[in-house]
Structure 1
Amino acid sequence: MRTTLIASALTLALGSAFAADAPVIGLITKTDTNPFFVKMKEGATEEAKAKGAKLMTAAGKKDGDNATQVAAIENMVAKGAKTILITPSDAKAIIPAIKKAQDKGVQVIALDSPTDPVSAVDALFATNNYKAGELIGQYAKVAMGGKPVKIATLDLFPGHPVGAQRHNGFLKGYGLQSLDAASNELAKPAEVVCMADTDGNQAKGQTAMENCLQKNPDINVVYTINEPAAAGAYNALKKAGKEKDVIIVSVDGGCQGVKDVAAGKIAATSQQYPLKMASMGVAAGVEYAKGGKKASGYVDTGVTLIAGKSVAGVDSKDTKTGLDLCWGNK
């Protein structure tokens, strides 16, 4: 069963043109189709090549696929990986597998998404997702110019740390009742008239927005967990003839997302840098393999607000800058 699972669910790449003592590093992402994780794999591949390391990669079938990630950890440890980089799909359920790997001397670094607790891994290289949320919340508040607000939040799924941090950070940035960055719950002040889960998926984002509009057709601000969900929300708003009456803000800053900002579909997005996360992770893996020094703690890999139009008092960059940097910032 285990062999079948690995063979059918994992994408495994192990270089062969390396010295026998080349460091072996594993990268496990939530999926291998989301452009965010494609860019992360690209960064890891480039850095591994530059550092003379062997890179193994694996991915879940979908966001939330913990079983595949557990199988990947076990497979990589068996094949000699000394460092595993992971974007955990389930922040709690993955921890026993991580601990087993650490007990065998493997360094485990989380990329982008923290475990719960964060201390379950040796280090976390990630965007400050709460700050990313705050930036788009601040932007939306100024852009609304003091008008009464009815907000829809198109979230990830319950209990996910990144989803909670972005959601609660957005509310905090808007000046509304919220929760702090340590909470995995989603705040719901009175101004939020609709909350829906999207799994970060465009189709589900469109359905969620359609349902929200049925509940409250006067929604005028939409927060989305990421840009695919934002694209879905825009499609629903356009279908309803409301796309010019609603501000959509999001997080990720991928190239397509920045293009959507330039096209006026998204007002602003907080850009993060997955290529940088992965590059830093591989470099830390090589350092551990060669010198025994482990990475530790949280490393902020940066966030930049990209806006179609700047607003007073909120620092942002234009879409040209966003396209120059989109997910490839080192």
Structure 2
Amino acid sequence: MTHDRAGHERTRRRRRRGVTLLVAGALVSGAVACGGADGSGGQGAHQITIGLVTKTEANPFFVALRHAATAAAHRNDARLIALAGKFDGDNEGQVNAVESLIARGVNGILITPSNTTGILGAIREARRQGILVIALDTATQPENAVDATYATDNFKAGRLQGAYLKALLAGRAPKVFVLDGTPGSEVSQDRHDGFLDGFGLKDGSPAIIGQANANGDRNTAQAATENLLLRASDVNTIYTINEPVAGGAYEAITDRGLTRQVTIGSIDGSCDGVRDVKAGTLAATVMQFPVGMATDGVDAVVAFAKSGVRPSGFTDTGTVLITDRPVRGLPSQSTAWGLQHCWG
């Protein structure tokens, strides 16, 4: 850990959104062929059952996390019920998902919380009923509201992107667009703060000539970048919270013929993102490891169900800077390495 995590905790006010709950799938082990998706067949009530609640169903990061959790559950002969909010920030949907999993009597719940304080009441009730609760990808506030957390150090991820983009300027004056995530998101804020720290900037700095929330969405990011370019077309550096946002920003600068002028960095480390680095669309991306998060979470629930031992604390699942243009003083790996390890 490269920073004091407690120093970056903050209280946020969040709006409660409309109720939306998407069943991403009730995914089970081989026993499903003998019974229904509700687990009534096969091993029945004796089968370990794990709930997974992600922020959205469609974001590639959460798709990868869900697939990894499914595979880990299958290896452990456990049942996985995967639920998701409709959009990033859908706290109401996640609350309803947790309540549904409590009613189904799961052994453990893995959750990537959209609202790191708004979900606490539902988590508290799950733990009161003896259910193990583990946060993946995003820590709750406070972190000890759950039994354990397996996640990226998002401040460190942002800091790596910031330090790298700063180094590429090689002394030129920075003119930066900042494309954040969802307002009130702990992940968005930590990556934002880390980027500023790594780049050596502060909020409100004149070097930041444009800033927008892109909600982790490619189309939103493209529209936001187009609007920022109308006011400041001399941008030379773009920070992006994730690779879908980076893709939208790249489309916008391409349409304006600015690809030679602007350098884009990102965070995710998907195989597609690594290919974008290799192609020169992105200068670098910071790789995360959702497969590790999901696998560790499932294994912890299985161990708890068998032994009663609860995991605890925060586990940093790792960050690696991926680029084919390394800079002195910043450890990195090439895109060849990245394509062998993407989202592992």
**TM-score (ref. length: structure 2):** 0.88
How many Å apart are 1:29 and its aligned residue? 0.7
Give the counterpart of 1:307 among 301, 317, 323.
323
**Partner residue, 2:94:** 69
Considering only aligned residues, what root-mean-square deviation do their CA atoms show, in Å?
A: 1.4
What are the residue-to-residue correspondences of 1:263-302 with 2, within 5 Å?
A: 263-302=279-318
Residues 108-143 of structure 1: per-residue CA shift (max 9 Å, x gap): 111001112222111110011111111111111111
**Partner residue, 1:162:** 187
**Partner residue, 2:105:** 80
Structure 2: gaps of 5 or more residues: 1-18, 32-41
Alpha-carbon contact 1:10-1:68 (below 8 Å) kept: no
Aligned equivalents of 2:247, 2:154: Cα separation in 1: 20
Distance 1:188 1:283, change over 3 A: farther
2:15 pairs with 1:15:
no
What are the residue-to-residue correspondences of 1:228-239 with 2, within 5 Å?
A: 228-239=244-255
For residue 257 of structure 1, give the secondary structure of its aligned residue in structure 2. helix
How many Å apart are 1:51 and its aligned residue? 1.2
**Partner residue, 1:181:** none
How many Å apart are 1:197 and its aligned residue? 0.4
Give the counterpart of 1:206 among 212, 217, 222.
222
**Which one-letter code corresponds to 2:173 in the other structure?**
P
Alpha-carbon contact 2:22-2:57 (below 8 Å) kept: no
How many Å apart are 1:268 and its aligned residue? 0.5
Aligned equivalents of 2:154, 2:337: Cα separation in 1: 21
How many Å apart are 1:14 and its aligned residue? 4.8
For residue 244 of structure 1, give the secondary structure of its aligned residue in structure 2. coil
Aligned equivalents of 1:75, 1:11: Cα separation in 2: 14
Give the counterpart of 2:241 among 204, 225, 228.
225
**Partner residue, 1:247:** 263
Aligned equivalents of 1:228, 1:297: Cα separation in 2: 30
For residue 24 of structure 2, give the secondary structure of its aligned residue in structure 1. coil
Aligned equivalents of 1:100, 1:14: Cα separation in 2: 24
Distance 1:23 1:188, change over 3 A: farther
Alpha-carbon contact 2:27-2:70 (below 8 Å) kept: no
Aligned equivalents of 2:339, 2:204: Cα separation in 1: 33
Residues 41-74 of structure 1: per-residue CA shift (max 9 Å, x gap): 1111111111121111111111111122111111
Alpha-carbon contact 2:246-2:265 (below 8 Å) kept: yes
**Which one-letter code corresponds to 2:26 in the other structure?**
A
Residues 197-217 of structure 1: per-residue CA shift (max 9 Å, x gap): 000100111111111111211
**Which one-letter code corresponds to 1:314 in the other structure?**
L
Distance 1:148 1:306, change over 3 A: same
**Which one-letter code corresponds to 2:322 in the other structure?**
I
Aligned equivalents of 1:87, 1:112: Cα separation in 2: 6
Aligned equivalents of 2:63, 2:79: Cα separation in 1: 18
Give the counterpart of 2:159 among 117, 134, 147.
134
**Partner residue, 2:127:** 102
Residues 213-265 of structure 1: per-residue CA shift (max 9 Å, x gap): 11211111100010010011011001111111111011001111111111111
Identity %: 45
Aligned equivalents of 2:110, 2:258: Cα separation in 1: 42
Distance 1:244 1:89, change over 3 A: same
2:224 pairs with 1:192:
no
Alpha-carbon contact 1:152-1:219 (below 8 Å) kept: yes
Distance 1:14 1:307, change over 3 A: closer
How many Å apart are 1:9 and its aligned residue? 2.9
**Partner residue, 2:196:** 171
Aligned equivalents of 2:105, 2:221: Cα separation in 1: 40
Aligned equivalents of 1:151, 1:134: Cα separation in 2: 15
Aligned equivalents of 1:14, 1:261: Cα separation in 2: 34
Aligned equivalents of 1:189, 1:107: Cα separation in 2: 44
Deviating more after overlay: 307-316 vs 273-282 = 307-316
Aligned equivalents of 2:205, 2:141: Cα separation in 1: 25
For residue 236 of structure 1, give the secondary structure of its aligned residue in structure 2. helix
How many Å apart are 1:190 and its aligned residue? 2.6
Aligned equivalents of 2:24, 2:323: Cα separation in 1: 36
Aligned equivalents of 2:292, 2:27: Cα separation in 1: 21
How many Å apart are 1:164 and its aligned residue? 0.8
**TM-score (ref. length: structure 1):** 0.92
Alpha-carbon contact 1:264-1:308 (below 8 Å) kept: no
Aligned equivalents of 1:215, 1:122: Cα separation in 2: 47
